[in-house]
Chain A
Amino acid sequence: MEATERMYSVEQRGDAVIIHVKGDLDVSSAPYLGSTIALAEGGAGTRIVVQMDSCGFCDSAGLAVLAMAAKRNGSAFFVVLPAAAPCRRSFEVTGLSVLIQIVSTLQLALDVELTPGSARRPAAGQKKASAWNSIQTGGGKVAYAASRRAARSSLRSAPSAELP
């Protein structure tokens, strides 16, 4: 907890939750950022801004956390990174600058109009069911296919029962 407070400060401004990242974002600190973002998702704010002006280094674990947050929150998730920031390069090398909305100042992130419906996400912290899960639990398409098969076989068996 202490590490979390030292490295991140969270602030609510209007409809935005702003998370300031102070130290480096690496394997040891990225999980804390992940849980901070998850907490923010459960809160009242509709947009989440991660401010990384004073972040000197961001490794692949940090990028993974930000990418997943961007995936969950869509256009309601922003990362503030000035053009001269040292860790901007990591975003460009991995191509994640396409997925994550990167803005150069905090004000820009707060000014962008959110289109209604884009801001909402599945319940915070809840994993989306993967294809693997739905196969195991028999949900979705598999259940539909099974019900179709059952319907078809009952149709086929009905006339054959009358024949003899």
Chain B
Amino acid sequence: MIASLSPFDPELGPADSVFNRVQLSVRVTPAKRAARGGDWCETFALSKDVIALSIGDVCGHGVEAFPMMLLVRQAVRDAALRGFDPAQTLAAANRAICMLDPWFYATAIFALLDTRRRVLTFANAGHPPPLMIGPGSARFLTYPAADLPLGIRKVSIRTSRVVNTPASALLVLYTDGVTEYERRPLLGETQLFDAARSAYACSAPATALAIEELMSLPAYNHDDVSILTASLPGVNLSPHLAWPHRLSHAARS
């Protein structure tokens, strides 16, 4: 089964789906109210347990970046369907881009989420880091040495990172249009962090859309904006966490 959601046509609206109790939601808004943009954002199942999350941004935005975006997205898909791990997938896409156009550049994250073992394996090619929110923690998955974007060097070192995701965690992947709309990336990251935590706290069903609305992004965006979220199912270990009214009851007594 391949469940692909890649709504580059905004008429489709937010496309949400569920895979092995993992809720996925995607939101793509091309720049300047164009129908198509330079961001891609999609999920597809690779086996009965593993789902691939792919997000990226080609240089430029709007309609002129669209054909190149299709090409890079397909290169990533091709490599992923051949069974490569995330680092190898991005390396293959990098080779494809370098061969076609030496003056072109894209940032991307490719991740494999093993829904049974709750393990996220991802590689990051110069893209803003993913955000992981768990029941007791929230952090950006950053590492001291960042890998270069795709298309810069023919041979470049790519690393797969492996992260254990807690039950009922929320993963947020996004493009720089989300954090840089006010031209202050640090402020943008804080806003995204807060918005994602609020969306997590109220367990909003269409999480990507909820985050976009909580961020109060301007209606007329100058860069493509994309958000992809994956909410893992929870384990009801503590009745207090599952039923908030009990918690408030305990606090009152």
Contact = CB atoms under 8 A, between A and B. Distances in A.
B222 A56 contact: no
Given A57-B183, A60-B59, A68 B103 contact: yes
A59 interface: yes
Interface stretch (A46-54, A95-103, A109-117, A148-156): A95-103
A96 B152 CA distance: 9
B152 A67 contact: yes
A27 B223 contact: yes
Given A127-B102, A130-B99, A131-B99, A90 B107 contact: no
Contacts of B101: 130, 132
B148 interface: yes
Given A59-B180, A95-B147, A96-B149, A89 B186 contact: yes
Contact of B126 (A95, A128, A132): A95
A92 interface: yes
Contacts of B146: 92-95
B153 interface: yes
Contacts of B185: 57, 89-90, 93
Contact of A132 (B99, B107, B184): B99
Interface residues of A, number: 27
A64 interface: yes
A93 B126 CA distance: 6
Nearest to B148: A95
B129 A99 contact: no
B60 interface: yes
A88 B153 CA distance: 21
Nearest to B31: A27
A61 interface: yes
A96 B176 CA distance: 16
A127 B101 CA distance: 10
A45 to B, nearest CB: 22
A127 B103 contact: yes
Contacts of B251: none
A76 to B, nearest CB: 18
A89 B190 CA distance: 14
A71 interface: yes
A99 B128 contact: no
Interface of A: 24, 26-27, 56-57, 59-61, 64, 67-68, 71, 86, 89-90, 92-96, 98-99, 127-128, 130-132
10 interchain residue pairs of minimum CB distance: A95-B146, A94-B126, A57-B183, A64-B59, A95-B148, A131-B99, A130-B102, A64-B105, A95-B126, A95-B147
Given A64-B105, A131-B99, 14 more contacts: A59-B223, A60-B57, A61-B60, A67-B149, A67-B152, A90-B185, A92-B146, A93-B146, A94-B148, A95-B149, A96-B149, A130-B99, A132-B99, A132-B100
